[in-house]
Amino acid sequence: MNKTFLKILFYLIPAIVIVASVFIGSSTLFSKKEIFEYIFSGFQTSNQTLDSIIFNIRIPRILITFMIGGTLAMSGNSLQATLKNPLVCPYILGLSSGAAFGAALSLAYLTIPIQISAFVFGFIAVLLTYIISMKKNNVSTVTIILAGVVVSGIFTALLTIVQFFSDPFKLQSIVSWTMGNLHNSSWEKFKIAFIPILVGTTILYFYKWKLNAIALGDEEAKTSGINVKRDKLIILFAVTLATSSAVAISGVIGLFGLIIPHITRMLVGVDNRISMPFNFLFGGSFLLIIDDFSRSFFDFEMPIGVLTMLIGAPFFIYLMKKNNIGWE
Amino acid sequence: MGINKIISVDNLSFKYNNKAVFENVSINIFQNKLTFILGENGSGKSTFIKLLVGLLDVTEGNIFLKNKEIKNYSFIEKSKIIGLLKQSHKSVFPFNVVDVVLTGLTNKIKLFPTKKDYQLAYETLEKVGISYLSEKNYCELSGGEQQLVMITRLIAQDSEIFILDEPTAHLDLCFQSKLLSLLKSLLSEGKTIISVVHDPNLAFIYGDDFLFVDNKKVFRVENGTEPWNENFIKSIYKSSFKQIDYLGKKLIIPDFN
Amino acid sequence: MRNYKTYISIFFCFIFLCCNNESKKSKTNSDFIKVTDFRNKEIKINYPTKKVVCLIESALSGIYMLKAENNIVGISTNVYNGDVFEQYKLLDGRIKNKTIPTPGNWDFISIENIAALKPDLVIIWASQTEAIQSIENLGIPVYAIMINNTNDIFKEITDFGAIFNKKERADSLISFAKNEIESIKTTIKTSDKKKVYFVWSQGKLETSGKKSTVNEMIELACCENVCNLPDEHIVVNAEKIIEWNPDIILMWYSNQNKANEILNFEAWQNINAVKNKNVYQLPSTFYCDLWTLKFLIPVKMLAKWSYPQEFNSINIEEYKKEIIKKLYDKEI
């Protein structure tokens, strides 16, 4: 297969998925032709309903979904390489539990917006994990994962306390937020999350080659000239910044950041120079396809986290059986 | 004698878990020599090496690389002076051999590797004689092949000092001789090589200089004595052995009586 | 050797005795009343019913309406902690001073505390099956409630009327409510029903479908619920609401002004309700409780907002006061 052809495909397929998604939805008020004309006329139309639905609801939702899928996948890949452990995902540092607690706090008691609360507590959780596991020379993988599990436990317990004192209505909201939700997507949410995610993923992109060196081993990386402690800190910061923002606007989409990097590795190999951007594009497209599925089949809104597991997991199992992933 | 000391250890003490591993060690290592480090199992040879490379911090005292304190080097500068080959290496991810070798070029690569960097990696693989392994999966190689790949990586790094921790451990005879001739050619290029080795014979036959690790100290044999002196070896290895004459040196064979 | 065996047998006998002791206590009274609760279970309650633990705030409201509040010995925690405290403290000095015990709230109830109050009856949601089982195992009768429509509210009031010997008042309140409903129907002459989209306060997309108390409220106001899905509580796709194009958006109570959020929401600017600024928020959980006879208040509010001309003469504040006075026989 021609390399340039593959490269074109690399970028073309996500673009096609994004555009196709604009045509998918449960509304029966307008035809595909009308949508086509709307897009290619530069979003001009006399049909105000069409304009509202497509521009103000569908497009932000599509962009947010793609952005989040890509962020989770890229962050998951970075963490797996940095911690040299293929079983980690961005949530293992306590991020998801912290964010869920922050969201619950906002839904139940505080007047600060739910996004800010979720973002701040997600960050605090990771900070706590890092502080607990930090040693003078380096942070060992096992220590940081253990610390992450403990911090997750703490915030989950706090979350349970908030749920305990909430009435059933609030409880329902808290639970459904925790399961992941894209149905409240809007331009406003996009604007909130866009910059921190851009900053985070750009930093990770620039580390795509160094990650190879770090993934080989901390001591090997150090002796060949990499300031491993500093770089790990930067990578952790970038992952937390991007993922916390993603979770803040869309809730917890479980295991996506764990599974997609594995699928990516099966498809394009372990070299992070290729797999990092691929993770973003593939993760974004995959989540978008799942959300398209949800939008076209159901009239009500199913939490996206449920669907990623029910659709993503069998796909992953199929790939696992078909390929030898290569782990010893 | 006009030989430069390239590494200088000054009054070094090192404790691990409150147990003293080294006490007041002062010793110099010389440029452009093949220096072997010998000692019993558990005497601290690998630890000494890690201190020299900066992977461990001294408890007291100082280490100087080219007359500059090791603490004052940035990671990149340090990697140009000194590089390490570990005893064994496992990778979680199945990288290609050429990508593994590329990681040795970290101190030369600005942001992402260029064609030139790739070329250098391939040339180094050619130099070591394992070009046929270039596109193979590192995890699927034998122990010896993996060791050769890591040596290639170290050569690509092109530091002034090469530190090797038991480089011949997993290698068969064929690879061992490949390795040793590689080391000889590196020496002729002006490199300094320091190696921990298990087998004193290998050291005595090929080495220029010998350091011994014993009883929390690192030292050379006394002036006027040969390193293969019977009493001296007995004091280091604390066991009985037989000696065979060979080209003016003595070879050591373990005695089981 | 022999000593510890005797010790253990005595210990087990003691445990056995304790377990059996509880169930013997309730057989001391002579008169009973039989009522069928919402589980379709017939329960036997001591009569006259003197001590009641009511763990549902809306049912508690019903008891106050029947003026049977002296029988109450235990209530749910949210009466003290929720917004409704403001009104309840005017209804009852004991609540104002927080002297009535609170054995729990929603799913978190202390069976021990309930038992300690020695009630003749416990009123609780039918969905709390585990708690119900624990209480019935103690020999205490449980009246379990599930409100899905106004007929359920009428049944609850009728049963309470029987239990607390307030049959006359119960009947008069129910016929009053039924008359009010009729009068709204006859006032609205047009057959062109307004379309209403109802929003719970947790988010713009949370609504109720065709089988819910919300739906009934909307229909009693001679309007139509745009949500055509059956569920009691459902989250819908944001595009759907644009498609449905409701004339009125009615929001559940919140302590923040959520109506403004909707009026400013870009994507919905072309919906009739937003264009014509027909977005309303119910003012209170107490006055607009759909699980009590006070449902008349939100129904009338919705009717007035939907058909302003027909209800021109009605003043919502005064109507509210009138209803409360009639139901509670007090001004709160």
Cα C207 to Cα B128: distance, rounded to the nearest angstrom = 71
Long-range contacts of C79-82 (CB under 8 A, 24+ apart): C82/A167, C82/C57, C82/C285
Q: C21 and chain A: CB distance < 8 Å anywhere?
A: no
Whether the pLDDT of residue A139 is over 80: the answer is: no
Domain CATH for A249: 1.10.3470.10
Assign A129 to helix, strand or coil.
helix
Whether the pLDDT of residue C22 is over 70: the answer is: no
The mean pLDDT value for B63-72 works out to 92
Say if B58 falls within a structural domain.
Answer: yes
- CATH number for the region C189-328 comes to 3.40.50.1980
Name the DSSP letter for residue C236: B
The tokens 């009031």 sit on which residue? C157
Q: Which of residues B156 and C29 earns the better pLDDT score?
A: B156
The mean pLDDT value for C192-203 works out to 89
How much is the pLDDT for B190? 92
Burial degree of B132 (CB within 10 A; 0-12, 13-18, 19+): exposed
How many structural domains comprise chain A? 1
User: Exposure pattern of B15-35 as b/e (b: 16+ CB <10 Å)?
Assistant: eeeeeebbbebebebbebbbb
Cβ contact (<8 Å) for C237 and A301?
Answer: yes
- The string of pLDDT tens digits covering residues A176-206 is 788 888 888 888 889 999 999 999 999 999 9
Say if A151 falls within a structural domain.
Answer: yes
Q: Which of residues B176 and B161 earns the better pLDDT score?
A: B161
Nearest-neighbour CA in chain A from C103: distance (Å): 14
Cβ contact (<8 Å) for A184 and C229?
Answer: no
Non-local (6+) Cβ contacts of A322 within 8 A are none
Pick A273's closest partner by Cβ from B74, B112, B157.
B112
- The string of pLDDT tens digits covering residues C7-19 is 788 777 777 665 5
Name the DSSP letter for residue B220: P
Cα C37 to Cα B183: distance, rounded to the nearest angstrom = 92
Cβ contact (<8 Å) for A225 and B76?
Answer: yes
At B139, the pLDDT band (50, 70, 90 cuts) reads: very high
- Chain C residue whose CA is closest to A186: C267
pTM of the predicted model as reported, rounded to 2 decimal places? 0.83
Cβ contact (<8 Å) for C243 and A49?
Answer: yes
Question: Are C165 and C52 within 8 A, CB to CB?
Answer: no
- Chain A residue whose CA is closest to B161: A223
Name the DSSP letter for residue C204: T
- The string of pLDDT tens digits covering residues C214-249 is 999 999 999 999 998 888 888 888 888 998 999 999
Cα C71 to Cα C59: distance, rounded to the nearest angstrom = 13
Torsion angle, CA of A211/A217/A218/A222, rounded to 10 degrees? -80
Nearest Cα residue to C93 out of C64, C50, C62, C51: C64
Cα C262 to Cα C248: distance, rounded to the nearest angstrom = 12
Question: Are C104 and C77 within 8 A, CB to CB?
Answer: yes
Domain CATH for B158: 3.40.50.300
Please state, in angstroms and as integers, the Cα–Cα distance from residue C85 to each residue in A219, C94, C142, following that order: 64, 12, 25
> Looking at this predicted complex, what is its ipTM?
0.89
Q: C239 and chain A: CB distance < 8 Å anywhere?
A: yes
Cβ contact (<8 Å) for A28 and C236?
Answer: no
Whether the pLDDT of residue B2 is over 60: the answer is: no
How much is the pLDDT for C19? 56
User: Exposure pattern of C38-52 as b/e (b: 16+ CB <10 Å)?
Assistant: beeeebebbbebeeb
Q: H or E element: which one contains B152?
A: helix B143-157
- The string of pLDDT tens digits covering residues A106-123 is 888 777 888 899 999 999
The tokens 């007041």 sit on which residue? B24
Residues of C in contact with A28 (CB under 8 A): 243
Whether the pLDDT of residue A326 is over 70: the answer is: no
Residues of B in contact with A270 (CB under 8 A): 93-95
Q: Which CATH number fits domain C21-165: 3.30.40.230, 3.40.50.1980, 3.30.450.20, 3.40.50.620?
A: 3.40.50.1980
Cβ contact (<8 Å) for A86 and B92?
Answer: yes
Residues of C in contact with A109 (CB under 8 A): none
Q: A46 and chain C: CB distance < 8 Å anywhere?
A: no
| The pairing of beta strand C108-109 with beta strand C104-105 | antiparallel
Question: Are C237 and C221 within 8 A, CB to CB?
Answer: no
Nearest-neighbour CA in chain B from A202: distance (Å): 13
Question: Are A108 and A164 within 8 A, CB to CB?
Answer: no
- The string of pLDDT tens digits covering residues A73-90 is 999 999 999 999 888 888
Residues of C in contact with A29 (CB under 8 A): 243
Taking each helix axis from N to C terminus, what angle separates B143-157 and B115-128, rounded to the nearest 10 degrees? Answer: 130
Q: What residue type is A168 in one-letter code?
A: P
Domain residue spans of chain C: 21-165, 189-328
Cβ contact (<8 Å) for A301 and C270?
Answer: no
At C292, the pLDDT band (50, 70, 90 cuts) reads: very high
Say if B54 falls within a structural domain.
Answer: yes
- Chain B residue whose CA is closest to A219: B55
Nearest Cα residue to A60 out of A181, A176, A188: A188
Say if B101 falls within a structural domain.
Answer: yes
Question: Are A136 and B56 within 8 A, CB to CB?
Answer: no
Which two three-digit tokens encode residue C131? 């708690």
Question: Are A81 and A290 within 8 A, CB to CB?
Answer: no
Cα C44 to Cα C56: distance, rounded to the nearest angstrom = 20
Three state DSSP letters for B95-108:
CEHHHHHHHHHCCC
Determine A/C contact with 3+ CB pairs under 8 A as the test: yes
The mean pLDDT value for C43-55 works out to 92
At A328, the pLDDT band (50, 70, 90 cuts) reads: very low
Task: Report the alpha-carbon angle C160-C219-C197, nearest 5.
Answer: 115
Q: C255 and chain A: CB distance < 8 Å anywhere?
A: no
Burial degree of C134 (CB within 10 A; 0-12, 13-18, 19+): middle
Q: Across the strands, what pairs with B245?
A: B250
Say if B247 falls within a structural domain.
Answer: no
Q: A207 is in which domain, residue-wise?
A: 52-322
Nearest Cα residue to B124 out of B189, B36, B75: B189
At B33, the pLDDT band (50, 70, 90 cuts) reads: very high
Non-local (6+) Cβ contacts of C193 within 8 A are C222, C223, C224
| The pairing of beta strand B5-16 with beta strand B60-65 | antiparallel
How much is the pLDDT for B87? 87
User: Exposure pattern of B205-228 as b/e (b: 16+ CB <10 Å)?
Assistant: eebebbbbbbebebeebeeeeebb
User: Exposure pattern of A123-151 as b/e (b: 16+ CB <10 Å)?
Assistant: bbbbbbbbeebeeeeebebeebbebbeeb
Q: Provide the total of helices (H) and of strands (E) in chain A, helices listed first.
A: 16, 0
Q: A301 and chain B: CB distance < 8 Å anywhere?
A: no
Binding-site residues on chain B for chain A (CB distance < 8 A):
53-57, 74-76, 78-80, 82-84, 86, 89, 91-96, 99-100, 102-104, 106-107, 109, 111-113, 137, 139, 150, 153, 157
Cβ contact (<8 Å) for A271 and B153?
Answer: no
Residues of A in contact with C208 (CB under 8 A): none
How much is the pLDDT for C24? 45
Whether the pLDDT of residue B170 is over 80: the answer is: no
Residues of A in contact with C236 (CB under 8 A): 299-301
Torsion angle, CA of C280/C283/C286/C287, rounded to 10 degrees? -80
| The pairing of beta strand C52-54 with beta strand C72-75 | parallel
Q: Which of residues A207 and A165 earns the better pLDDT score?
A: A207
Q: Provide the total of helices (H) and of strands (E) in chain C, helices listed first.
A: 15, 14
How many structural domains comprise chain B? 1
Q: A108 and chain C: CB distance < 8 Å anywhere?
A: no
User: Which residues of chain C form beta strands (DSSP E)?
Assistant: 32-36, 42-46, 52-54, 72-75, 104-105, 108-109, 121-125, 142-145, 194-199, 206-207, 223-225, 234-235, 248-251, 279-281
Lowest mean pLDDT among A64-73, A103-112, A211-220, C141-150: A103-112
Which two three-digit tokens encode residue B113? 């590797």
Chains with 3 or more CB pairs closer than 8 angstroms to B?
Answer: A
For every residue of A135-181, DSSP letters joined together read -SS---HHHHHHHHHHHHHHHHHHHHHHHHTS-HHHHHHHHHHHT--
How much is the pLDDT for A325? 53
Query: Which residue out of B14, B50, B75 would a mutagenesis test of the A interface target, given it has the greatest number of A Cβ atoms within 10 Å?
Result: B75
Q: B199 is in which domain, residue-wise?
A: 5-220
The mean pLDDT value for C98-104 works out to 90
- Whole-number average pLDDT of chain A: 87
Cβ neighbour number for residue C36 with a 10 Å cutoff: 12
Determine B/C contact with 3+ CB pairs under 8 A as the test: no
